[in-house]
Chains A and B, each alone.
Chain A
Amino acid sequence: MSGRDLELVSVTKRFGDFTAVDDLSLTMPSGSFFALLGPSGCGKTTMLRIIAGLESPSAGRVFIGGEDITATRAHQRPVNTVFQSYALFPHLDVIENVAFGLRRRREKHVVERAMAALDLVELRHLAGRKPAQLSGGQQQRVALARALVNNPAVLLLDEPLGALDLKLRRQMQVELKRIQDEVGLTFVHVTHDQEEAMTMADTVAVMNAGRIEQMGAPQELYDLPRTPFVANFLGRSNLLAGTVTDEHGGLLGVDVAGTRVQVPADRAVARSGAVLVGVRPEKVILLGADDPAPPGATALGPGTVADVSFAGVSTEYLVDVPGAGRMSVFAQNLTGVSATPGGTVRLAWSPQHAFALVDDGAPDDGTGEAVEAAELSEAAAP
């Protein structure tokens, strides 16, 4: 049995004066692996709780497989959740934790099915243990089995890997993806880890301040972010403030601190006025102060190297370019080109890697004050 599609229509949730979810509509197709990505306090967990029925929306509707379930309560919904803290029942052993949902629905062959679910997460041998006797990773898998065994139309995952160490997390990401392929359910995965969202999901929705900023396939979002928030929350971006001066043959000319920078018109959100020109750090190459730029490339500089940090596969350079601000460059450690702090360099990139956004003047780094304020009020709200 496969999952059913999930549809949210104009869902809003307010806690007092604070709007956690703001008029949000979206459709998650049946059988998809959907990631809700955003900083803490952006409303993604509230969203998940509304889908699970643990929270009632202040306005809007929730549909599963075309059926309006807004007014039904959590235990009546064909939805199961893997909680962030796992919320395993401490007084029940592993098998009874997994069997809990089946027993409540008075299903048949409860123990056999629970055992099969434990097989899926490779924990059959621990069926008789109490949750407190398991490691974090094992608890996480029990929580997953406990939800999966019910064959829900939609499976919700609330930062389920957040408490695991990095290595285990990578392993569980692969595992989760395998299980989703195997059971074919609709997975909705909430996370603040952009890498996790991109590796696992078919579709990523980036949430900020109760709204969805942008939604799409991971590559698409990464390649062409549509807002400054997305540009910096999903990976990092150099954003240069400039003004559109002209448009020729599908290329926009933008004046950035006196330098003409080109952006393909079809990669620009706005084609006139003040814009932010964006380019990913790994798309930028370093040139010596007197080196010529490759033909057709956009060049910027000269600037001063402020910092160099070696990270194994690449080296990150921070370059202060007068008028444009501090630029970040990821250089693969292939060539002999190296710069030292204090040195003078120029930067270059191919115009088709650039994109242009509307300059909304908001904090754009995904960890700004606006986000933290929202987080605080969400914590205080319920």
Chain B
Amino acid sequence: MSRLLLAVPAMLGVFVVVFFVIRMLPGDSAEAMLGASATDAQIETYRAAHGLDKPAPVQFWIALKNLFRGDLGDSLSHYRPVLSVVLERLPSTIELAAYGIVLGSVFAVILGVVAASFRGRWPDLIITAYSTFGMSLPTFYIGLWILMVFAVKLDVIPVSASAVEGLPRWKTLFGPVLTIVVGGSLVRTTRSAILEILEEDFIRTARAKGVPKALILFRHALGNALIPIITMVGYGLAVSFGGAIVLETVFGRSGVGKLLIDAITVRDYPLVQGTTFVIALFMIVANLLTDVAAGFADPRIRVAGAGEL
């Protein structure tokens, strides 16, 4: 609960940061909107009409009031409210992140459990080496090679997902999701979480009682290793959202990441501001859900106060 309360100042803080950071940009949206040929009088009129001539704190107050009305301003390049542009693109990114996390976690948990149960022997060494190496590969690099293999050589997916109409869903998701899964950043966490649990007394007790090894691994160890894994999944969500910027660029998906890059390129500052804000909000909510999920997985945390996680 305390965690929930702390999320509110975080959300406001995010808004403050985004608002003032964008205000620090050279030239305001009047110049960007009207172009270099605009006269001073035209710029003054635009500023007055959009409240840009008022002092920054007043502008902030107006923006804050508009925020609570769900108004994030108008996009300069899309000629409609920022919020509707962002919301239109959001599902695509959420879809990508969700598939990436679910499949990536399943993959990681399987490899992590295998590695932990063969600790120090060759399956463990191979899996650990793989994940160490995978974590060092930039997302765009993995993505480009996946495109190279599956789009250019094998021709099962298109080089750019948005360039082809009426594509089956799995074809647009295949590349980016595979990139997230192959990255394997969760494998090491699962492995070390399970190894740590295997040192606990109750595991020794279970072994002494003669509980089968597989049952110990999946029921006793994996069950208790859920907390660090859930925390990592939450972190993975953050990575996926950040990674979406790169993935959507590489695979030509039109989600919020690509939207942000395009907005920056055409200097559509209200859209940059809105996109950044919505992504950050999403992250805060995701972190909250992670904490709540951790509390469900382990009642001990709920009692001790979830804030300390």
A and B held together in a complex = no
